[in-house]
Homo-oligomer: A and B are copies of this chain.
C-alpha cells in the first residue's frame, strides 16, 4: 500500500509526542503505535490506543480469587491456568483500538463480531477513494468442491489475468460513474453544476464490494481472541485471515504471556467429541476401536480425526 505523504508526516508527528503516564504500558506496543501494517493491496492495520498488559490480566484475576491465588504466585502460571480453565473474564480488562482499512466484503464479515465498537467512514457524508481490492493471481482459487465455502488450487495465470482484468475494468468503470453522479467528472462534466450532484448516499450504491472502507475498531481482549480464533482458522476467507495474521502479531507483542497460553490452549488445541474420546481411549488401551463407534462418525469427522491426532479410522485390516 502506498502511504500518502500526509499520512506519513502525521504518523511521524504523532510518534514524537511522548507523554508521561502512571498507567500500565507495553514498550513493545509503544514501539509500533500509529504505524501502518500493510494488508492486501491497499489495506492496513494500525494500533491507535491500548489499555492493559499481561499484568493487568493477573491483577484482575487476583481481585476475583483474592487470597485464593496465593499459590499461583507466578504470573505465567496464573495466566495459563485462566485460559486453560476458560476463566476468561479477566481478559476483558484489556482493550485495544485499531484503525483498519479493508475491502467492504471483508468489513461485512468482520462486523458480525458484535462485541466491539466501530466508527466507520461514512459514504453518506464523504466520498470514497478510488481504491479497490484485486487479489494476487496466486490467491485466485477455484471453488472448492468439498468445502462449499472455500477455494481450492489457483487458477491458471491466463484465467486469473482474464478475471483480474475484468474486475479492474468493472471497478474502474463503476468508480467513474460514481464520480459522474457526484458531478466530479465524467462525460457529463457539467452535471454537478446544473441540478446539483446526486446524494452521496445514493451515488455509492454503484460501487462493487471490493472497494475499500476504513474504520476505528475497539475491542476487549477476550472478544479479540475469539475473533482471532475464528478468523485465523483455515476455513476463514483468505482476505480476512490476512488481517487476522497481522493482528495476531500485534497481540503477541502486546501480551506475550496471554498469547502463548492462548496458542497452547486455544489455537493449537483440539477438541474431541464424546465418541472420538471413546475411540481414543480404546486405542490407547491397546485395543481397536469398536466398529459401531467408528460408524457414528461422519466422513468429515473421520478426516478431522486424522488431522487432529493422526488416527486413521477408515483403515480396515
Contact = CB atoms under 8 A, between A and B. Distances in A.
A131 to B, nearest CB: 13
A75 interface: no
Given A141-B199, A155-B195, A198-B140, A52 B49 contact: yes
A207 interface: yes
A133 B205 CA distance: 9
B199 A209 contact: no
Contact of A196 (B107, B142, B207): B142
A123 to B, nearest CB: 8
A122 B246 CA distance: 25
A174 B208 contact: yes
A142 B208 contact: no
Contacts of A68: 122, 125-126, 148-149
Given A19-B25, A208-B174, A63 B216 contact: yes
A224 B89 CA distance: 18
A141 B92 CA distance: 33
B301 A121 contact: no
What is the total number of copies of this protein in its complex?
Answer: 4
B177 A170 contact: yes
B22 A23 contact: no
Given A118-B112, A119-B63, A152-B199, A264 B274 contact: yes
Interface in A174-198: 174, 177, 180-182, 188, 191, 195-198
A311 B284 contact: yes
A231 to B, nearest CB: 13
A202 interface: yes
A7 interface: no
A206 interface: yes
A20 interface: yes
A34 interface: yes
Given A20-B25, A66-B121, A206-B210, 18 more contacts: A19-B22, A20-B20, A22-B34, A51-B95, A64-B121, A64-B122, A66-B122, A68-B126, A95-B218, A139-B202, A140-B202, A150-B201, A155-B196, A173-B173, A208-B209, A270-B277, A277-B308, A284-B284
Interface of A: 14-15, 17-25, 30, 33-34, 48-52, 56, 59-61, 63-69, 77, 80-81, 84, 89-90, 92-93, 95, 97, 99, 103-105, 107-108, 111-112, 114-115, 117-122, 124-127, 133, 135, 139-145, 148-152, 155-156, 159, 162-163, 166-167, 170, 173-174, 177, 180-182, 188, 191, 195-202, 204-210, 214-216, 218, 220, 237, 263-265, 268-277, 280-281, 283-285, 298, 300-301, 308-311
